[in-house]
Amino acid sequence: MAQAYKTETGNGNPEDRRTGTPARGLFRRWRGDNRIWRRGIALACFAVLIALLMILHAQIPNRIGNLGSLAETFLPWLGVFVPVILALAIWRRSATALIALLLPTVVWLNLFGGLVTDKSASGGDLTLATHNVNADNPDPAGTAKEVAASGADVLALQELPLGKVSAYEQALAGTYKYHSVQGTVGLWSKYPMSDTAPVDTRLGWTRAMRSTVHTPMGAVAVYVAHMPSVRVKLHAGFTANQRDNSAVALGEAIAHERGAKVVLLGDLNGTMNDRSLKSITSQMRSTQGAAGDGFGFSWPASFPMARIDQILVKGLEPVSSWTLPRTDSDHLPIAARVKP
């Protein structure tokens, strides 16, 4: 009887043991299961919902707690649900859920698949870097030197408290001959600067500036900005009105720029997907999106979840873009190389 049992199940056949695989065994078990289409309906619905959120994110209204902007800030993270649904669908033996999973997979790859590959190249005529140094940074001199070690020709810093500006200036004096600090933002350059002035972002205090940097590839209008912070509150949702108004003002200033080559460096407190930054992002290219390797998340430094620090260009070609090592700030510094 033992031999008969082995013959019936196939377990006694040496050839069956050699050619069998976990996948084949799984499909053999599923083939005779009449419930594979009825199980996992809830999982399938959830997969479709994730896909719809990604496809229709622009239709999520902002008038209720700025939910649209909040969803767009963390939109790439919806892809995390794909392997989770996959594992649950296999565990539940649900063909319906597996087929439905194709929808969010295809949508996510269409939206963000291009960011996963390395698009960086060698070369570049101008190296740019930007860093929100954090007003409470305990080591401003050390942070400044770490970012300067990136080899940046032009360096922008944000969230500079008045009492620590001199520490940053002294630490960077040996690397950068030219610099200017306007309010809480500053620009350091190896090349001459002119026409430096604050930019009005409708706040009542200075958190943005503009300067013409005379580089070997010609004059470049460089903007440095730190958009107002946003908060997620249970009673008010995603509070971003100040940031949104400032973004519109900054976008208008850039639109009126006469120079052909324009760079924006700074902490925009928003991602390239956020509709509220459209006045800026609609007219400039992200160096990370065009020439980066991965998503380049910059905040929070301890576990980066969003790229809210940006290097955007107009009239220039991004060559490469990357994040720099962590400093004593809660943001990661970022850098990019561009060419005419």
**114-158 confidence digits (pLDDT tens):** 999 999 999 999 999 999 999 999 999 999 999 999 999 999 999
Instruction: Please check the confidence at residue 9 and state whether its pLDDT lies above 50.
Output: no
pTM of the predicted structure, to 2 decimals: 0.86
215-272 pLDDT tens trace: 999 999 999 999 998 766 554 445 678 899 999 999 999 999 988 999 999 999 999 9
Least Cα distance to 249 among 273, 279, 270, 229 occurs for: 279
Binning pLDDT at 50, 70 and 90, where does residue 34 land? confident
The CATH architecture annotation of domain 126-339 reads 4-Layer Sandwich (3.60)
Measured CA distances, 298 to 54, 153, 155 (Å): 22, 21, 16
Place of tokens 């809660």: 330
Omega prior to 61 cis, within 30 of 0: no
**Cβ-Cβ contacts under 8 Å for 182 (sequence gap 6 or more):** 196, 197, 198, 206, 208, 209, 224
What pLDDT was estimated at residue 21?
A: 67
Least Cα distance to 250 among 230, 264, 271, 270 occurs for: 264
For residues 277 and 284, give the distance between their C-alpha atoms in angstroms, rounded to a whole number.
Answer: 11
Question: Reduced to 3 states, what is the DSSP secondary structure of residue 145?
Answer: helix
Average pLDDT over residues 56-61: 92
Longest dimension (CA), the chain: 95
Binning pLDDT at 50, 70 and 90, where does residue 185 land? very high
What pLDDT was estimated at residue 81?
A: 97
Stretch(es) of the chain classified as CATH 3.60.10.10: 126-339
What pLDDT was estimated at residue 153?
A: 98
Measured from the Cβ of residue 163, the count of other Cβ atoms closer than 10 Å reads 9
